[in-house]
Structure 1
Amino acid sequence: MAEDENRTGTSARPGRGEGAPGRWAARAAVLAAAGVVAALVSAGGGGGFAVVAVAFVALVACAAGVWWFLAHRGPVRVLGAVVAVASPSGVLVLLSVSGMWQWALLLGVCWAAMVGAAREALRRSRPTRPPRTRAAARPRRPVLIMNPKSGGGKVERFGLVARAEALGARVILLDPSQPADVAGLARTAVAEGADLLGVAGGDGTQAAVAAVAAERGLPFLVISAGTRNHFAMDLGLDRTDPARCLDALTDGEELRVDLGFVSGRPFVNTVSFGVYADVVQRPEYRDAKAETALGLLPDLLAGSDAYHVEARVDGVAVPPRQALLVSNNPYRAPDVLGGASLRPRLDTGVLGVLGIHVETAAQAADLAVRGAQSPGLLVTTGRRVEVVSGSGSGSGGEVPVAVDGEALLMPSPVVCVLKSRALRVVVPRTRPGAVPPPPALDWRHVLRLAFTRPPGPAA
């Protein structure tokens, strides 16, 4: 009901005598930037600029070395490993021998303070509005499906079966020795009167049962008993203690989130195409992940089997990519490679699209230096993503796909869409909450915050 909805996401206006949110953090960022400039100028004999130049060269060399290591075999791979390791190590040795390490440390501290303060200013001035929730009715016949192998045995380690049954839930414990039709089990449970479905397991199992819950209009409970628990993390659930997720059965609140579908198959996190999707198809990958990947990557990145995934986003063709990641709602922080692991919202109604194309060491260096501004990185959103082909080891009209980490082959074209706010997720009222990802740096907005006087209070 509307009166039950939580509207705490609305931001308050600054009162009399208060500045705009984030103003002082923006000024701190400007002050730290001045410290960076002062350190550069004050270092004797242009030493500050030399430190920056050396660090830049080391970054470029390290990126090139990583590329040689991944995309080649034999002596070139060995050379790449040496360059990737020696570049940052050489910088440290050079700074110590030249006596410039103090200036490098000062520059690093000022730079970190500048970026940290700028992000804090942006976070305060543009707060992420939390999703609306409403009080959830206590279920009378909840049914929970649990995978005892998931997450290295978290179901047993945290006593989830006994805890759930004590709260009145019926538990269906999967048999690890044989494959299970979890969607079929969920439909049977609904036919027998279940008024809530839940899963303690990985994201693939979560997605299969979530689709049944969405189809029947039932609430869905996520129990963070998987290995990585990306979906649970972005819902703000406790990943260190899955038993706390069961509190939603007695004191929960409901929120609406989107549910993704790839050629009719549900997903809650990501669908991968290209290099990664091809690697995980191999039978040997399960037992020897690193060895299998290193053995295949040279051919998939730069050899005869090099991948070029062709796709259209909302009907518009995008340049071919070696790897393409489609996510249920966009991930944030694409300007920090490796940091795009959080989704601030799960109800925007759009897919996130992240693509990478690197064929040479120079392009790898450009990607390392320019990040999201590099032509090698595609960051966009859309409501429909259609992968029409994927060259490489896929045969015939089938495209290798990894859906929430599960390796599949799907007929081309492979279509990804979202059903907006289709899933009713029940979460504990008391939970850690999702950690807001760092906002992308917008220096124009930071400067406006720092130097523009806020309007006075209305008369």
Structure 2
Amino acid sequence: MGLDLDGRAHARQRWAARGALTAGGVAVLLPLGYARVESLLLVAVGVLGTAVTVAALWWVLTLRGPARAGAVALAVATPAAVVWFFAAENLLWVVTVSLALWGFAVWAGKFALSSTRSHTVTVPEHHTPPPRRPFLIMNPRSGGGKVERFGLREKAEKLGARVHLLDPERHEDVTELARQAVADGADLLGVAGGDGTQALVAAVAARHGIPFLVISAGTRNHFAMDLGLDRSDPAAGLDALTEDGVELHVDLGFADTHPFVNNASFGAYAVVVQSPEYRDDKVRTTLELLPELLTHQRGPRLTARVEGTETGGTAVVDAPQALLVSNNPYRMDDPAGLGYRERLESGVLGVLGVTVANAAEAAGLLLGRHSTGLTVLTAREVVVDADRAEVEVGVDGEALVLPTPVRCRIEPGALRVRVPKHRPGVPETKPPLDWRRLRKLAAAVGRTALPRQRALSPEAAPPENRTPPTA
């Protein structure tokens, strides 16, 4: 039975690889066969149109007044003109079919490669007794009122937790609330709220060596997503308070003394969110501030010294318009995985820097990691300096102003997070597409599977193991 299932898996893998190669080949040959010489023009127009559109978007962000209006018109007109050209030349259907085939080829290829090797990193689970005196902080305003909508306070109290509901009318120091709860004997701290509040309480839990509970009652819940929790049902996280709970030991990041479970951002975004007008009109405030920020006429000029990179050395990121330092790196090799972290216990920071001087370099960002304007690194420590005594920093979405230089570091395995054993898990991401490996897979799998099946027949068995024929 096991061999039969294994053979079926090999067959699916083989046909997926062959399907990917076939679809990819047809996607390339269709324009060549139908348009012939015009296919080169088709590719050139598509590439040029994409580059001009990205460049126009750069001008939208860096210009003002009539020039910005012209850039908006160019950003809209360019893709429309490309589509019109394809339609006028009777090539639009060719482009559409080729793109569809290429999309299928990429999907099938990743399916085939993921069948040969697992790319899902499983964080070790630690089985520990449920807490006896859990203390939870809940923000009734988070996520548009999820605390009340899902009955989180009542459900938590039924499970024996002591719940403190934050007062919407006055500021409360959640760090001090957590410290006092530990002093009163709490053996678990938890938060139903945004990632900024999560980080502050998580740091107290880590400092005292007690578990931390994440309840996905915020708006985005990035940390909960990367822990594999059910973001659509915050109440499901309370199952961790029972015997069903397990612990994950994950890392915790710090910008100086300020903890973060997700990231610390520097540069344009960090300056924009500091503006008093940002909360009332985010789009208008952003468009008003970005021209000077992106051209270094306003805001800090940053320099980041990245220590302990993949090569073991030091790298310098000079004058980035935006710099993101994350608690473990985000996926960058697949658009479907952007915004996800496959691991939270790798012990390294992720570093993402954007340095763009003009429209051409902005268009070059289409090359992803190979772009000269994009820096992607991992590090043990990042020291961010600036041409001023203080710098704006967004720490898990909270707007801060910190003295320079700002030292970002990571404490590996510092945080014990208690989660339900049964949870959706982190969305599975496919491996980067390797066409050379895909060709070998399509050609070799069928042959490698064959000897295993032949070994089941008496003729294929070694002579000493064959059963003599009966008369």
Q: What TM-score comes out, normalization by structure 2 length?
A: 0.88
Distance (Å, rounded) in 2 between the aligned partners of 1:77 and 1:268:
37
Partner of 2:57: 66
Q: Which has the higher helix share?
A: 2
Residue 469 of structure 2: aligned partner = none
Question: 1:66-103 CA deviation, whole Å, 9 max, x = no partner?
Answer: 00100110122111111111222222233333321211
- Larger mean Cα displacement after TM superposition, 147-156 or 302-311: 302-311
Counterpart of 1:241 (choices 233, 241, 253) is 233
Which runs of 5 or more structure 1 residues have no equivalent in the other structure? 1-11
2:195 is matched with which residue? 203
Deviates more, 1:412-421 or 1:50-59: 50-59
Matched with 1:381 is: 378
Question: How many angstroms apart in 1 are the aligned matches of 2:98 and 2:298?
Answer: 44
1:118 touches 1:441 (CA, 8 Å); kept in 2?
Answer: yes
One-letter amino acid of the counterpart of residue 182, structure 2? V
Which residue of the other structure, out of 346, 349, 352, is the alignment partner of 1:354?
Answer: 352
Is the Cα–Cα contact under 8 Å of residues 300 and 391 in structure 2 kept in the other structure?
Answer: no
Matched with 1:415 is: 407
Separation in 1, partners of 2:429, 2:255 = 26
Structure 2 CA distance, aligned partners of 1:145 and 1:17?
50
State the distance in 1 between where 2:275 and 2:263 align.
19
Contact 1:48 1:103 in 2 (8 A): no
Task: Report the AA paired with residue 201 of structure 2.
Answer: V
Amino acid across the alignment from 1:282: S
Structure 2 partner of 1:316: 315
1:34-73 equivalences under 5 Å are 34-73=25-64
> In the alignment, is residue 366 of structure 1 matched against residue 386 of structure 2?
no
Q: CA deviation at 1:141?
A: 1.0
- Paired amino acid for 1:254: E
Could you say what secondary structure the match of 1:237 adopts? coil
2:254 match: secondary structure: strand
Between 259-268 and 37-46, report the one with greater CA deviation. 37-46
Q: Is the 8 A contact 1:333 1:440 kept in 2?
A: no
Distance 1:318 1:166 in 2: 51
The correspondence for 1:162, drawn from 140, 154, 157, is: 154
CA distance 1:184–1:247, shift in 2 (3 Å): same
Q: Which runs of 5+ in 2 are unaligned?
A: 308-313, 456-461, 463-471
- Give the distance between the partners of 2:241 and 2:95, measured in 1 at CA: 54
Structure 2 counterparts to residues 60-459 of structure 1, below 5 A: 60-127=51-118, 128-250=120-242, 251-302=244-295, 304-305=297-298, 308-314=301-307, 315-334=314-333, 336=335, 340-368=338-366, 370-389=367-386, 391=387, 396-452=388-444
| Structure 1 CA distance for aligned equivalents of residues 133 and 89 of structure 2 | 71
Q: Which moved more, 1:283-292 or 1:111-120?
A: 111-120
Residue 419 of structure 1 aligns to a residue whose secondary structure is strand
How far the C-alpha of 1:125 sits from its partner, in A, is: 3.2
Q: Distance in 2 between the 1:236 and 1:18 partners? A: 27
2-structure distance, mates of 1:440, 1:307: 36
Change (3 A) 1:280 1:18: closer
Distance in 1 (alpha carbons) for counterparts of 2:250 and 2:47: 42
Identity %, equivalent residues: 52
Secondary structure, aligned partner of 1:176: coil
Once the two structures are superposed, residues 358-408 of structure 1 have per-residue CA deviations (whole angstroms, 9 ceiling, x without a partner) of: 12111111112x12111111111011111122x5xxxx4111111001111
Inter-partner Cα distance in structure 2 for 1:437 and 1:412: 38
Instruction: In structure 1, give the amino acid aligned to 2:142.
Output: S
1:132 Cα offset (Å): 1.2
What do the CA deviations read for 1:423-455 (whole angstroms, capped 9, x no partner)? 111111221111023433333433443345586
Q: Distance in 2 between matches of 1:332 and 1:293?
A: 26
Q: CA deviation at 1:188?
A: 0.7
**8 Å CA contact 1:136, 1:426 repeated in 2:** no
3-state SS of paired residue (1:311):
strand
Distance 1:186 1:22 in 2: 51
**Partner Cα separation in structure 2 for residue 307 and residue 410 of structure 1:** 12
Match of 1:8 in 2: none
CA distance in 2, matches of 1:446, 1:182: 52
Evaluate the alpha carbon distance shift between residue 133 and residue 303 of structure 1 in structure 2; reply closer, same or farther with a 3 A threshold: closer
**Counterpart code for 1:332:** R
Could you tell me the TM-score, scaled by structure 1's length? 0.90
Which string of whole-angstrom CA distances, capped at 9 and with x for unpartnered residues, describes residues 179-228 of structure 1?
Answer: 21111111111111111111000001000111111111111110000111
**CA deviation after TM superposition for structure 1 residue 18, in Å:** 6.2
Contact 1:342/1:437, CA 8 A, preserved across alignment: no
Residue 135 (structure 1) shift: 2.6
SS in structure 1 of the partner of residue 175 of structure 2: helix
Separation in 1, partners of 2:296, 2:136? 47
Deviations along 1:290-349, whole A, 9 cap, x unmatched?
A: 11110000001125226542111114323431111011001003553x952000111111
Map 1:2-21 → 2, pairs under 5 A:
19=10
- 2:317/2:353 contact within 8 Å kept: no
- Contact kept in structure 1, 2:15 and 2:442, CA below 8 Å: yes
Change in 2 beyond 3 A, CA 1:215/1:354 = same
Contact 1:306 1:322 in 2 (8 A): no
| Shift, 1:106, TM fit | 1.1
Structure-2 change in CA distance of 1:410 and 1:125 (3 Å): farther
Kept after mapping to 1: 8 A contact 2:31/2:95? no
Aligned residues of 2:60 and 2:72 also touching (Cα < 8 A): yes
Whether contact under 8 Å (1:68, 1:80) holds in the other structure is yes
Contact 1:40–1:46 (CA<8 Å) still a contact in 2? Answer: no
Aligned length: 440
Amino acid of the residue matched to residue 380 of structure 1?
Answer: L
CA change 1:23–1:345 in 2 (3 A) is: farther
AA aligned to 2:383 is E
Q: Which amino acid in 1 is paired with 2:364?
A: D
C-alpha distance after superposition, 1:217-240 (max 9, x if no partner): 111110000111000000111111
